[in-house]
Structure formats: C-alpha cells, structure tokens
Amino acid sequence: METLSWDKYRGRASSYDIGTLGYNYRTTEIQSALGLIHLRKLDRYNKKRKRLTEIYRKELEGTEGISIPFYRFNGNPSYHLFPILIASTVDRNQVMEKMKDFRIQTSVHYPPVHLFSLYRKEFGYKRGMLPKTEEVARRGMTLPLHPRMDVGDVKWIAKKLKEMVKRWN
C-alpha cells in the first residue's frame, strides 16, 4: 500500500494504490487479547525452554554424529527452537522418519532460502551456489521444544535420537 493510513486519517489522501504484492498483518482485537494473555506467560515459558535446552545439551553432549550449534552463544536467546546438526555420514531424513515411529516430531526449520522456487525463478539462484549453506541445511534438524514438555520427555527424545544416529556409527 503506497499511502499510509495516517495520511488518510489526516485528510491528506482519500485512496491508495498497491504497487507490489503484500499482506495485511494487523491483528484483530481477539488476537490482541490472546496475545496479551500469552505475554504474561512469556518469561515463565522462556525459563522452562532454557531448562529443557540445558537437559538436551547435557544428554546429547559428546554423542558421535550429533553436534549442537550455538552451544557457546553469548547473549540472551529465547530458546524458541532446539536445532542440531547430524553428521554428514548419517542420513538425516531417515533419522527423522525413524523418530516418527516413536511419535517424535522433528523438523527442518532452515532450508536454504536461495533454493526456494521464488529465488530460483526470479533471481536465478542454483544449487551449489552456496555450498556451506546447503551442507548445513542437509544436516540440520530441530527437536521438539515447548513449555508443556518435561525433563523426562527431553531425556526420552535424546535417548531415541542417540539410538537412531548410532546405527550409522
């Protein structure tokens, strides 16, 4: 939208034009009310995620075939995700499939952006242009992490993951 709502409000514009594809991200009143309720829980949830992350790290530390990126991160993370890297000798996709057998959802949160259809079609990016990015993406996966989990959940997931990865070592 090429005209600001403020300009319409102040009487400087009565209409608008759309120059490119975009989205309206304004929240509704109900979404805002729910957001305010969840904001009250944010600190508690972040502390819980931090504790669960510490357990994951302890359980997975030193496991052949698994590395934990950002292990020594200097800052105050939100602990939104728990990403790991699987060794290049391990078939990450097979590990993810086997984890499903135990009803453990794993994800790939960071596919290489330059390989999305939009970037390939519109900008000509190709596989192999960013080899390090592509290598990390082939090996990366995230483990479940949410405030309704407990220490036992994390230990069980770590145990099952180690069993899966051990098959390749």
Residue 126 above 70 pLDDT?
yes
For the cut 90, the answer to whether the pLDDT of residue 15 exceeds it is no
**pLDDT, greater one: 105 or 73:** 105
Helices (H), the chain: 5-9, 29-39, 42-60, 92-101, 117-123, 131-139, 151-166
Q: Enumerate domains of the chain plus CATH numbers.
A: 42-166 (3.90.1150.10)
Q: How far is CA 74 from the centre of its chain?
A: 19
Average per-residue pLDDT in the chain?
Answer: 89
Please state the pTM of the whole predicted model. Answer: 0.80
- pLDDT tens for 143-164 read 999 999 999 999 999 999 999 9
103: left (phi over 0), alpha (psi -120 to 50) or beta: left
Q: Can you tell me the distance from the alpha carbon of 32 to that of 34, in angstroms, rounded to the nearest whole number? A: 5
In this structure, of 18-32, 40-54, 91-105, 136-150, the range with the lowest mean pLDDT score is 18-32
